[in-house]
Amino acid sequence: MSSAVTRFDYRQLLQWADESLQQAGASGEIARHVAFYLLEGDLLGYSTHGLIRLLNNCQWLQQGKSLGKGQPTVVSERAAVAHWDANHLPGPYVVPQAIEAATAMAKQAGTGTIVIRRSQHIAALAAYLSLATEQGMVVSLMCSTPGQRAVAPFGSKQAIFSPNPFALGVPSSGQPLLLDISFSMTAAGKVRQAKANDVALPYQALITEQGEWTDDPASFFAEPPSAIAPLGGQKLGYKGYGLTLFSEILTMALSQYGRRQGGNDGDANSVWVQVIDPSAFGPQKAFLQQVDDMLEDCRQATPIDANEPVRIPGQRALQRKAQQLKQGVAYSAATMKVLQRCEELVGVTLPTALSDGA
Amino acid sequence: MSSAVTRFDYRQLLQWADESLQQAGASGEIARHVAFYLLEGDLLGYSTHGLIRLLNNCQWLQQGKSLGKGQPTVVSERAAVAHWDANHLPGPYVVPQAIEAATAMAKQAGTGTIVIRRSQHIAALAAYLSLATEQGMVVSLMCSTPGQRAVAPFGSKQAIFSPNPFALGVPSSGQPLLLDISFSMTAAGKVRQAKANDVALPYQALITEQGEWTDDPASFFAEPPSAIAPLGGQKLGYKGYGLTLFSEILTMALSQYGRRQGGNDGDANSVWVQVIDPSAFGPQKAFLQQVDDMLEDCRQATPIDANEPVRIPGQRALQRKAQQLKQGVAYSAATMKVLQRCEELVGVTLPTALSDGA
């Protein structure tokens, strides 16, 4: 499908997204954040959580489902934690603030933790990690979606949970480790993408109403729909089930905003942000050396396929980012259709595609 | 194999383990803790990390690889974190202290985090969780083993990591959620157990030197040995690889005690303990209601097999504990051999098996 790729200059695209969001009702500050972090998702290769979500963000702003101005309010706090209500402000505006506040706490207390209720969709967690790693901090992020049921508990065929992502950022002497995974066998966005591209999933990640395992993305949109299996699948799915509960408890239960409160909140998220200051435990330099040693052991580990050396989480994402900043940000034909719908919705013209777009 | 099960009265067994540890050189206080938490592992069904490890604990005490008296020292601390050096004191003595100290921090700051270097083997993480949940706290535990390389990074056939467990304890209005899983496809103890029982693993969790996937536990003891694959296996192993790095960074890198420092430390662990006080984020009662709702959704989810309703993590473990406290603690013939070797080593006679032992 690379023949169908359209490329845009990063700066022009950022400008377009920013203007589109302002046109839809966002303040300049909020538009700047949402445009930047959605596009950061694309740069890093998280194409299901990049500008493809700009249309939704503009719609939510127009419909009042996302706030175009305002600030999160503090529900409660202690020295190393806070609970914020984002009042449906866009996630890409709230999460960077939370990382900043958690970093300040971590510098004082060793860790800083913020849970957030009612954040509008926060998109790609990976996009936020470098905010912390650039300050020498370790950061973990999780979110869940009170309005979504797509993942079954282990042993069930009924969707109960959202497909919850977990992200980790760790500084090293070189590039940071950037991890962003879901605790389910796949994410809803990947099933949507497979359906749009009319291809099977790369493995049987879905369980049908009949209790059968399938790789058919269409089953997820059937009535009744199939459910996504937790990480670990048929034999080890109790692990992904446990990790999903971990994420739902630290996001929804701690922020006291679960499916009984936010069942009609669409894509809005409950969020966990934790920043750890390694220098609270010992010299920062010694911590970085530990990480360097660990990552070096991984790089040196004998690969199964001699042509595929072991990669560090985030390594390919950072390569993609550097490449796309240079050659332009690439979009598939399916994503282009969504960008064009956004163009029509808010009336801001897309920049001209780069001529060497193929 | 249930025909080969031998049962002992819990109190008598506890007394035996306690006396054995004292005989091997532990103070009364340390012996009491190690006996209690090893046996707690058996009660909950973690038979690879129960009294089967008493022999090792006694050997380590006799050889000076585990300290029979003393206290962990504080390397550094801030309001919500501390770094302890356990000086090779037994894990079951140090971890409860860490949970207690982290709980006190959490009551003040919202969370409390303690990382520990040079804890002697901490056995079953699940055994410690109720210390926090009984006080209404959420607790997560992780540990890694600087002296062990058994798990390969994703895409590799070479063992780099230890098989690192992750445990989570969450209070509810009823029984707590108690999760204890490894981030690899299996744990080394389970491979040892399969080898001892001469059975295949229930799935292909191992990668041979030739890069082939196998369920043969003997391959793990061959030269060169096979490596355990990270959770997620052939397709999704990048998730288990990332989670393994998460655990190694929060245990070994934060405590600045990794494989280059502790490569010859045998089974000693680097440990992460984090306690979260839910009442820092809102009313405790509302938190418990959130957890209750979530667990109820799981129990009510339609099972794939109508005879196998969805279980809450820890549910079966707590049933096993109640049953074994009543009917006696059960040991396989293979474990009995190890208990008898311990009896010979320290000269404390095992209690009489219960007559209804079959």
Q: Is the pLDDT of residue A285 over 80?
A: yes
CA distance A48 to B232: 21
3-state helix vs strand vs coil in chain A, percent to 5: 45, 20, 35
* CA-closest candidate to residue A339, choices A36, A16, A15, A34: A16
* Contact of A145 with A162, CB cutoff 8 Å: yes
* Contact of A232 with A240, CB cutoff 8 Å: yes
* Contact of B186 with B201, CB cutoff 8 Å: yes
What is the phi/psi pair of residue B141, to 5°? -130, 140
Most B CBs within 10 Å: which of A73, A141, A246, as the mutation test of the B interface? A246
DSSP string, B80-123: TEEEEE-TT-BHHHHHHHHHHHHHHHHHHHSEEEEEEEEEB---
* B153, B282, B313 ranked by CB distance to A298: nearest: B153
Tell me the CA distances in angstroms from B168 to B130, B258, B273, one per residue in order: 10, 23, 10
Nearest chain A residue (CA) to B178: A242
Q: What is the pLDDT of residue B189?
A: 85
Buried b (16+ CB within 10 A) or exposed e, B42-60: bbbbbbbbbbbbbbbbbbb
CA distance A113 to A126: 18
CA distance B111 to B103: 8
* Contact of A170 with A189, CB cutoff 8 Å: no
Nearest chain B residue (CA) to A312: B242
Chain B residues whose beta carbon lies within 8 Å of the beta carbon of residue A166: 243
Contact residues, A window 293-312, toward B, CB-based 8 Å cutoff: 293-294, 297-298, 301-305, 308-311
- Residue A75: strand, helix, or coil: strand
Domains of chain A: 1-70+328-358 (1.10.1530.10), 72-185+229-313 (3.30.1370.60)
Sign of the Cα torsion B94, B95, B98, B100 reads negative
- β pairing state of B165-170 and B138-144: antiparallel
- Residue B170: strand, helix, or coil: strand
Please name the residues in contact with A281: beta carbons below 8 A apart, sequence gap of 6 or more: A110, A287, B75, B76, B81, B83, B115, B254, B255, B256
Q: Which amino acid is present at A38?
A: L
* B111, B238, B245 ranked by CB distance to A81: nearest: B111
Please name the residues in contact with A250: beta carbons below 8 A apart, sequence gap of 6 or more: A115, A142, A272, B138, B276
A228-246 pLDDT, tens digit per residue, is 999 999 999 999 999 999 9
Residue B255 DSSP label:
T
Q: What is the pLDDT of residue B2?
A: 47
B206-227 pLDDT, tens digit per residue, is 999 999 999 999 999 999 999 9
* Contact of A239 with B239, CB cutoff 8 Å: no
* Contact of A134 with A272, CB cutoff 8 Å: no
Residue that wins the pLDDT comparison between B285 and A3 = B285
Tell me the CA distances in angstroms from B21 to B28, B90, B125, B185, one per residue in order: 9, 11, 20, 33
Q: What is the mean pLDDT of residues A122-135?
A: 98
Q: What is the mean pLDDT of residues A36-48?
A: 97
Instruction: Calculate how close chain B gets to A53, using CA atoms only, in Å.
Output: 25
A138-182 pLDDT, tens digit per residue, is 999 999 999 999 999 999 999 999 999 999 999 999 999 999 999
> What are the start-end ranges of the H helices in A277-346?
284-300, 315-327, 333-346
* Contact of B56 with B267, CB cutoff 8 Å: yes
CB atoms < 10 A from the CB of A59, how many? 16
A176-213 pLDDT, tens digit per residue, is 999 999 999 998 888 998 998 899 999 999 999 999 99
Q: Does A211 sit within 8 Å of B109, measured CB to CB?
A: no
Please name the residues in contact with A120: beta carbons below 8 A apart, sequence gap of 6 or more: A57, A60, A65, A66, A67, A86, A88, A89, A90, A91, A267, A268, A269
Q: Does B231 sit within 8 Å of A236, measured CB to CB?
A: yes
| Average pLDDT along chain A | 96
CA distance A270 to A122: 9
- Beta pairing partners, A142: A166, A272
Q: Which amino acid is present at A215?
A: D
* B242, B294, B302 ranked by CB distance to A248: nearest: B294
Indicate if ipTM > 0.85: yes
Q: What is the pLDDT of residue A3?
A: 57
Chain B residues whose beta carbon lies within 8 Å of the beta carbon of residue A207: 304
Q: Which segments in chain B show pLDDT lower than 70?
A: 1-3, 356-358
CA distance B176 to A290: 35
Q: How many CA atoms lie within 13 A of A177 on its CB side?
A: 32
- Beta pairing partners, B269: B119
Instruction: Calculate how close chain B gets to A28, using CA atoms only, in Å.
Output: 31
Cβ–Cβ contact B108 with A under 8 A: yes
pLDDT band at A1 (very low <50, low <70, confident <90, very high): very low
